[in-house]
Amino acid sequence: MGEQRDGERLERQLAFLLEADRLKTVERRTLLTDGSRRENSAEHSWHLALMALLFAEYAPGEVDRARLLTLLLVHDLVEIDAGDAYSYDPAAQVGKQEREERAARRLFGLLPADQAAAVLGWWREFEEAATPEARFAQALDRLQPVLQNFASGGVSWREHGVRRGQVAARTAMIAAEAPALGRHVALLLEQALARGWLRE
Amino acid sequence: MGEQRDGERLERQLAFLLEADRLKTVERRTLLTDGSRRENSAEHSWHLALMALLFAEYAPGEVDRARLLTLLLVHDLVEIDAGDAYSYDPAAQVGKQEREERAARRLFGLLPADQAAAVLGWWREFEEAATPEARFAQALDRLQPVLQNFASGGVSWREHGVRRGQVAARTAMIAAEAPALGRHVALLLEQALARGWLRE
């Protein structure tokens, strides 16, 4: 009986992990650095987690590394159902929260109840910026597209006619969570403006 | 002077993180679950880390979650220079260690010295299976392709005429690191053999 329950537990975990594979097919607007194709949300999540390992030192206080990595690994899973909502597309923002809530219930609900609750909790913690780790994770999530866009010639900004003020507003929190990184973003936005990659 | 050094530190970290972006273009033999394309090593690393969050409970003893995730996030970076060496291709294994050592020195050497040493240490720890976390991480790295291959119809096994005994040998360590997962792999290999996806 215990073994049967154990088997069912593993089956649920495997079903979730196979479903999670679909995050590799969710396309973001940002290009790879070499400009060869758009980035997907799974590899983006990996890149953020790697960045967190190296940039945790810029956080104003202590951050729990396991918690920070965990939040980054699960933060985009809802996009499997809800898609990636481009930050500078107002239409994509309409109804986003409801779509993502529905996605979270379906996707995390594939897991055994205790793990479903854990993943839901991590996802909410990130979304609500409820802890220092969640705020720092959000700051990195806003930093990475700026770095990636800048390195690939500002294509996704130019394609969507993005204004400097929009990016500055979206990335303002970086300066609070990691002052050195905030200064770097400000420099990049100046240069992107000068190069015509962002509009005034 | 301190600020100048800080600026140089950040520049080195950024150079490494942009270079790391190239892991998204390193192709593995395994297909995505939906069979649409081959998986890349960046999204594979993310999938492994997600799996680690859910499967850590199958480890025989306590594992440090931050350490486990860290090892998985950096374990494939050397493939940026060295490429992915398919486990069942003996030719790809020739000189692999030297190529990867060279790649590690170049890639991690982009970082500030202390972080270069840290990442090199994590990579070595994984490669040498030097700690319980590294052994568990290796077990997951051998489990994930089996799950993924099985889910996508055994294509990469069939393409390379892989024998059941080869996969059984490569995945034998899973049973030691996570008995429940080892039993599941044994079942999948039986089924793959019965379906003709693996040769006897």
Given this model, what pLDDT does residue A140 score? 98
Pairwise CA distance, residues A139 & A173, whole Å:
6
Which residue from A78, A74, A79 is spatially nearest to A29, judged by alpha carbons?
A79
CA dihedral A21, A27, A31, A36 (to 10 degrees): 70
Given this model, what pLDDT does residue A1 score? 42
Q: Which residue of B has its CA nearest to A11?
A: B184
Given this model, what pLDDT does residue A40 score? 98
Pairwise CA distance, residues B42 & A72, whole Å:
14
Pairwise CA distance, residues A147 & A184, whole Å:
10
Contact A166, A192 (CB under 8 A): no
- Chain position carrying tokens 């909790």: A121
Which of residues 152 through 181 in chain A touch B, CB cutoff 8 A? 180-181
* Ranges under pLDDT 50 in chain B: 1
Given this model, what pLDDT does residue A157 score? 95
Query: Taking CB atoms and an 8 Å limit, are A34 and B25 in contact across chains?
Result: yes
Strand partners, A38: A31
Given this model, what pLDDT does residue B87 score? 87
Which residue from B95, B97, B113 is spatially nearest to B5, judged by alpha carbons?
B113
Q: Could you report the predicted ipTM of this complex, rounded to two decimals?
A: 0.96
Given this model, what pLDDT does residue A2 score? 60
Contact A83, A41 (CB under 8 A): no
Pairwise CA distance, residues B80 & A10, whole Å:
33
Which residue from A144, A140, A146, A148 is spatially nearest to A178, judged by alpha carbons?
A140
Query: Taking CB atoms and an 8 Å limit, are B20 and A47 in contact across chains?
Result: yes
Alpha helices in chain A (DSSP H): 2-20, 41-55, 65-74, 79-82, 90-93, 96-108, 113-127, 132-151, 155-159, 164-177, 179-194
* Ranges under pLDDT 70 in chain A: 1-4
Token readout for A35 is 């400009």
In a mutagenesis test of the B interface, which of A22, A37, A43 is the best target, namely the one with the most B β-carbons within 10 Å? A43
Q: Which of B22, B50, B73 sits opposite A50 (nearest CB)?
A: B73
Contacts of A6 in chain B (CB under 8 A): 180
Residue type, B174: I
Exposed / middle / buried, residue A36 (Cβ in 10 Å: 0-12, 13-18, 19+)? exposed
Given this model, what pLDDT does residue A87 score? 87
In a mutagenesis test of the B interface, which of A38, A45, A46, A140 is the best target, namely the one with the most B β-carbons within 10 Å? A46
Given this model, what pLDDT does residue B60 score? 86
A30 phi and psi angles, rounded to 5 deg: -70, 140
Contacts of B33 in chain A (CB under 8 A): 18, 21-22
**Cα B89 from chain centroid (whole Å):** 16
Given this model, what pLDDT does residue B58 score? 96
Residue type, B192: A
Given this model, what pLDDT does residue A4 score? 66
Please check whether residue B85 touches A, CB under 8 A: no
Global pTM reads: 0.96
Given this model, what pLDDT does residue B1 score? 43
Please check whether residue B186 touches A, CB under 8 A: no
Binning chain B into helix, strand and coil, the percentages to the nearest 5 are 70, 5, 25
